[in-house]
Each structure stands twice: as structure tokens, then as C-alpha cells.
Amino acid sequence: MKDKFYQYIQDLQDSITSKLEEIDGKAKFQQDIWKRPEGGGGRTRVIENGSVFEKGGVNISGVHGKLPKSMQAYFNVGDVDFFACGLSLVLHPKNPMVPTVHANWRYFEMYDEDGKIIDQWYGGGQDLTPYYLFEEDAKHFHQTCKTACDKHNSEFYSNYKKRCDEYFYNAHRNEGRGVGGLFFDYCKASADMSMEHWYNFVTEVGDSFLDAYVPIVEMRKDLQYTQANRDWQEIRRGRYVEFNLVHDKGTLFGLKTNGRIESILMSLPPHVQWVYDHHPEAGSVEEKLIEVLKNPKDWV
């Protein structure tokens, strides 16, 4: 299973980065192959200063070894070995009318002293963070997520959409990070779903990513914008940074397992503002976005 999924994310990384380079038309992904001293490594690809993408990364990793003490306590286990692999991506477009997007698909195994698998699960999802709300974009993104989910279980979309709204939430701001999408974790074998079934579901969602995001980029990337629009984008990016550094479990896991810091912090945008006690103008389109972030909608 781990070899099969790791091959899948390598292929998916290739297809996503090649399509994004085609859309950008200017910048290319810079690639770093890295090794983790404790075991494993990864392939980081970063795009910067493009005509469409100001900064983005599409990274894969497969790491293994002894589970660190800090994570033993988190998972409530003793001395065990682990294997974890996944693809993680974040794209910060230049034009404020194009939303930021994040996605992650991952697989985890733990082993006893004899090398036998004692636990295994899948996790992942994809979510959209607009700076200016085009409702048709949110509907398209969510419909694509729902279509992928419905092929496997009619309850997946509503369950994982709700979890996404709950997870990507800046509790200290009382607002969502974006308009959501899907979030699922600890997807384990059961009477209803074998690990093979989970593999098929997760890869279905992974394969849907470009369909969910690319049409939005192509529709918005050439829209006109002002410096005021840019300032708002950078203020909202600050909230994105706050979530990743304060609440995100993936960032925490990477930091606590001696992950590669450049890959972990790749998700942070290049230009950000923190303005003291900032509030959008009453009745503005910026305020409309905040209202939706404070009260998640059912988009489909």
C-alpha cells in the first residue's frame, strides 16, 4: 500500500506542476531532492514570481524511522516505527481576484518491533481561500469535491465539508480561513471500507484537484485590480499565516519530526500585512467575504 500510494503522489506531482507551469507561462518550478537523516526524504518543487503564481509549492515526501517521543505522546503509543508519505501543495496567485488554494493527500503506517503494521490510515483534502468572493467559484470548487466524494459514499461530501469548515478555522479570530472544501483524517479499514477502498477514494479526490481549481484561475487571472485590492489580499494572507503557524497539525507534525523546514514553511506567502485592528468598510465586497467566513455556507 505505501509503495503504491507513494508512486501515485509522484505521478500526481508531475501532472499538477506541468499544468501549473502551462497556466503561468513564465515561471518554472525549481526542484529540490532532499534526504532526511533519520530516514526517507522528498521532492520539493517551488514556483516564484510568475505571471500568475506569486509563490507556490507542490511537495512530496516519504519519511520513516522511529516515531519521536513528542509524537508518541500525541498518538498515545510507545516506541514504534512509522512511515508517512504525502503530497502537499499551496498556491498563492498574484492577482487578488484569484483565490489561494491548499491541498494535501497523505498515508501513515506504524509498526511493532517485528515490523508488523499495527495501524494505518489515510488523510487529506483540498480547500479554497478567496480574497474576493465570487460565489460561482466556490460553488464550482465544492461541486467538484462533491462529485468525487459521491462516487464512493453519498455521505462523504457533507461529512468532510463540515470537518473542513471546523478544521480550517482561526478560533482566535472567530472566522474561517477560507470557503472550505474537504478535510478527512484517520481513514482506516472497517467493515464498510477496506484500505484499498480508501486508496481509491483518496486518489479520486487527488485526481479532481486540477478540475476544481484550474477553471477558476483561468477565469480570474486577467481581471483588473488596484493597489487597495492588493493591500486587502496581503492583510488576508496574514490570517492564512496565523492559521498555519498556530493551528495546523501538518506544520506541527513536520516541526516535531525534524522535517525539512523549507518544505514545511513553503506554504507561507511572500508578501503579507498585519494592520492594527483592521476592519473592512461597511457594505463593501471585502466585508461580504468576512461575513461568509464567519458563517460557513452550503455551496452545493
Degrees to nearest 5, angle at CA 210 with 245 and 157: 75
Beta strands 100-111 and 117-129 are antiparallel
- Asked whether the beta carbons of 125 and 205 are under 8 A apart, the reply is yes
Q: How many helices (H) and strands (E) does the chain have?
A: 9, 9
Which is catalytic among the residues 92, 102, 140, 142? 102
Given phi > 0 = left and psi -120 to 50 = alpha, else beta, which region is 252?
A: alpha
The span from the CA of 180 to the CA of 125, in Å, is 10
C-alpha distances out from residue 97 to 46, 72, 93, 100, 230, Å: 22, 43, 9, 10, 9
Q: What does the DSSP assignment read for 26-88?
A: S---EEEEEE-TTSEEEEEEEEES-SSEEEEEEEEEEEEEEPPHHHHHHHT--S-EEEEEEEE
102 among known catalytic residues: yes
- Asked whether the beta carbons of 293 and 176 are under 8 A apart, the reply is yes
Q: Which three cell numbers stand for residue 278?
A: 483592521
Q: Active-site positions? A: 102
